[in-house]
Structure 1
Amino acid sequence: MSDQPAFFRPRHVVVLAHPSSRSFNGLVANAYCEAVRQCGQEPIVRDLYAIGFDPLLKDSERPHEGGTSVMPDVKFEHAAIRGSDVFVLVYPIWFGMPPAMMKGYVDRVLGSGVTAKDMQGGVGTALLKDKRLVSITSSGASKAWLNQQGQIEALRNVFERYLAHGLGMKSVENLHFGETVEGLSEDYLDPLLAQVQDLARKVCADVDADVAAERGLSLKQRQQSDA
């Protein structure tokens, strides 16, 4: 039976990792959140640089026989994002990889308590199991050049698909923008941000379908139990 309240607003956690408050990635996060609100769903932004998140994984936080320690700042993050339906990672690609800040968030928050065996079995956690993952990335280099290097597909495999499978998540959506450098005009930016909002609306529609299906299943189960 569904444990959702009669009035339920799906939630999207938007994790932003860029040190500049005026970055293209910040505009992407804002555009995504605006579209989510327009769809009647709720965005929760975790701007990692703005909140001063500590990305350094402590030895005590690693899973071991004596258990895993969860530090106060990680407990706070878990409380902020618990019960969310979509996790959106917004970050630039630097030297072929996500910023250390984003990797640290994955290590300490999303991967808290997860063992290698859990990852191999796709066990997942209550925080992430059957949730949706969205990744929106940017680069100064062109998308065509990155594709020639095999970089985008490699990142999709080793970061997004790997995480989604290992953490038991339902699906992965991704969007990448190349040649996003400082000083871009509004005429250049507007079509890009429109793509972000189109993706957000698609994800919202998928989540609405999930909710409708779950409620339909719950109703069917109640009818069967009453029969």
Structure 2
Amino acid sequence: MKILIIYTHPNHNSLSYAFLQKVIKGSNENPNIKELHVVDLYEEGFNPLLVFNEQKRRRDMYRDPHLEKYREQITWADKIVFVYPIWWGRPPAMLMGYIDQLFAANFAYKDKKGLLPEGQLKGKSVVCVSTMKGPTNYPLLWLNNAHKILMKKALFHFVGIKKVKFFEFGNMESPKGKQTKKLEKIYRYFKKVDC
């Protein structure tokens, strides 16, 4: 199995970075995982801004040469792992800009007759590891599960990825947030995951 990790946080002293390290450590100890690649969007200086004009059209985004290496990474991966904080009930703008540009028509999906397109990323799986300041049930109780619906139904299912797992860790700025226990949970999961 080949794993692509998309890490999105501007601070390497953050709890998100600690979760990234546990994903890497567990994956490196897992005999099912043959290769692993990490993309740190902030460190790479990924440009999340969409630009459409006479020279750069939305319908041509799937062949933008500036995004070729990222498309190759997604194609290469069996499992894509996203590690990010939840800010204002959703992933950071940097990650959403990555998604807007990479999960484009004629790469991640193809339009066809009917209501839904044909997903082009079938057979892949996704894990989302996210942290937030608020309580763990905040997205469910106050936001009608908007984060999971956005990521799972509006994005991953749309492009053909049906196997999606979430780890949403709340109370992460609290001294009673059980950070060590949650970090170990991620480490154990990636040490054993098989597909």
What TM-score do the two structures reach when normalised by structure 2? 0.84
1:33 counterpart = 2:24: yes
3-state secondary structure, aligned to 1:121:
coil
Structure having the larger proportion of residues in helix: 1
Q: Which runs of 4+ in 1 moved over 6 A?
A: none
Gaps of 5+ in 2: none
Indicate conservation of the 8 Å contact 2:3/2:37, yes or no. Answer: yes
Aligned to 2:88: 95
Q: Which has the higher contact order (CA 8 A, sep 6+)?
A: 2
3-state secondary structure, aligned to 1:50:
helix
Indicate conservation of the 8 Å contact 1:78/1:109, yes or no. Answer: yes
Identity of aligned residues (%): 24
Rate the CA distance shift 1:144–1:156 in 2: closer, same or farther, 3 A.
Answer: closer
Q: Tell me the distance in 1 between the aligned counterparts of 2:30 and 2:19.
A: 17
Shift of 1:105: 0.8
Rate the CA distance shift 1:39–1:158 in 2: closer, same or farther, 3 A.
Answer: same
Aligned to 1:223: none
**Greater Rg by CA:** 1
Q: Tell me the distance in 2 between the aligned counterparts of 1:178 and 1:58.
A: 35
Structure having the larger proportion of residues in strand: 2
Aligned to 2:128: 135
Matches within 5 A, 1:86-165: 86-111=79-104, 113=106, 114=108, 117=111, 120-125=115-120, 128-151=121-144, 153-165=145-157
Rate the CA distance shift 1:189–1:57 in 2: closer, same or farther, 3 A.
Answer: same
Aligned to 1:167: 159
1:190 counterpart = 2:180: yes
Q: Tell me the distance in 2 between the aligned counterparts of 1:193 and 1:155.
A: 21
> Number of matched residues?
188
Residues 6-63 of structure 1: CA deviation (Å, up to 9, x unaligned): xxxx111111111111111111111111111111312211110011000112222512
Shift of 1:164: 1.9
Using the TM superposition, name which of 116-125 and 84-93 deviates more: 116-125
1:62 counterpart = 2:58: yes
Gaps of 5+ in 1: 1-9, 208-227
Residues 127-175 of structure 1: CA deviation (Å, up to 9, x unaligned): x222001111111111134432135x22111222322211001301000
Rate the CA distance shift 1:199–1:61 in 2: closer, same or farther, 3 A.
Answer: farther
Shift of 1:112: 5.5
Aligned to 1:211: none
Q: What is the letter of the counterpart of residue 35 of structure 1? A: G
